[in-house]
Structure 1
Amino acid sequence: MSLRGRRMSAALVSFALAALAGCAAQDSTDAATSAVPAAEVVRVSDAWVKAGDAGMTGLFAVLDNDGDAEVTVEAAATDAASATELHETVADSSGTMTMREVSGGFTIPGESQRVLEPGGDHLMLMGLTGPLAPGEEVSVELSFSDGSTLEFSAPVKDFAGANESYEGEAEHSGNH
């Protein structure tokens, strides 16, 4: 091979290695971005809890995912209730809107939000440990599928709506 051919081959090899290094750097940046814990990219806003004396009640909020990757809220907990479930509203066989526990959690796509609202998705606080009066604050911890957790506080408010039926209502007493 001539000197010119060797230089050309060396230049092509150098170019190829530089291109591969650039791809590897991009891949590691993407991996680092997707490895950010869900609790660090999710924001909770407009959170509130429906006032109630006993039984169960609902917690509502907007969950914003500011990250690029999808996140999943798998569970929630609060000292204000003996159990907290992720609920959705669906039509039963008669067309009546019914609340039920969500299987698989609340998924929030990257750069998107999940609205928890009366008559829709929400957190169900069951077995209230005491009355929840307007003006009080309820501390809540969300648990994500990646193992991270996020704590937030929600004020208690009066609300006349959201008195839907629940699957297994015999098991749960009280209003939502």
Structure 2
Amino acid sequence: MTRLLIPVALLALAGCSPAADPDALASVAVVDATCRPTLNGRDVTGCYVTLTASRDDRLVSVAAPLAATAQVHEMKIEDGMMKMAELKDGLALPAGEAVSLQPGGDHIMLMGLTQPLTAGQKVPLAFTFEHAQPVQVRARVAQPPVAGAGAEHAGH
């Protein structure tokens, strides 16, 4: 009887291990987080970051204590015009592929800022993913390098 209980107990414990839950192994690296300084009199700004997921995942939301609202936005040219809109279903993060949110492309919008953002400051951002555990970072406030199509319109 004892011989039978040991394998059953080991199988039961294996079912409770983190390896049994694929989401427990999911992670997203969040690097190079930067938010633009705010323009005088404005309470909005853009933030940029590079995300790399260990498995297929999705950025579901972003939160910032200094902003009433934080949204993931896409920029695209439609009918010859640059348009910006919230990605309501989040941002796809293919496994192992660095996804850069940058000026002129997908980015994070902070709206309803409670204070102006000035160069050198640090801004807390919290990222929520479909599978990976949430990640919190402190984004530096600085002018990001200009990159991507339409970057000349990315002054937010």
| Range into which the TM-score falls when normalised by the shorter chain | 0.7 to 0.9
Equivalent residue pairs, number: 133
Secondary structure class of the residue paired with 2:85 = strand
- Which is greater in Rg? 1
Distance between the aligned counterparts of 2:111 and 2:152, measured in 1? 14
Determine the structure 2 residue equivalent to 1:62: 50
- Structure 2: stretches of 5+ with no match in the other structure: 1-16
Give the alignment partner of residue 42 of structure 1, picking from 16, 23, 28. 28
Secondary structure class of the residue paired with 2:24 = coil
Determine the structure 2 residue equivalent to 1:20: none
| Seq. identity, % | 31
Secondary structure class of the residue paired with 1:35 = helix
Cα offset, 1:37, TM superposition? 5.3
Q: TM (normalized to structure 1)?
A: 0.67
Determine the structure 2 residue equivalent to 1:134: 119
Given residue 153 of structure 2, which amino acid in structure 1 is its aligned partner?
E
Distance between the aligned counterparts of 1:76 and 1:70, measured in 2? 18
Alpha-carbon distance change, 160 to 106 in structure 1, aligned in 2, over 3 angstroms: closer
Distance between the aligned counterparts of 1:35 and 1:105, measured in 2? 18
Q: TM (normalized to structure 2)?
A: 0.75
Q: How does 1:25-174 map to 2 (within 5 A)?
A: 32=20, 34-36=22-24, 38=26, 41-52=27-38, 53=40, 54-65=42-53, 67=54, 69-93=55-79, 95-146=80-131, 148-158=133-143, 162=151, 164=153
Runs of 4+ with deviation above 6 angstroms = none
Given residue 156 of structure 1, which amino acid in structure 2 is its aligned partner?
V
Cα offset, 1:96, TM superposition? 1.6
Which is helix-richer, 1 or 2? 1
Secondary structure class of the residue paired with 2:141 = strand
- Structure 1: stretches of 5+ with no match in the other structure: 1-28, 166-174
Superposition CA RMSD, Å: 2.4
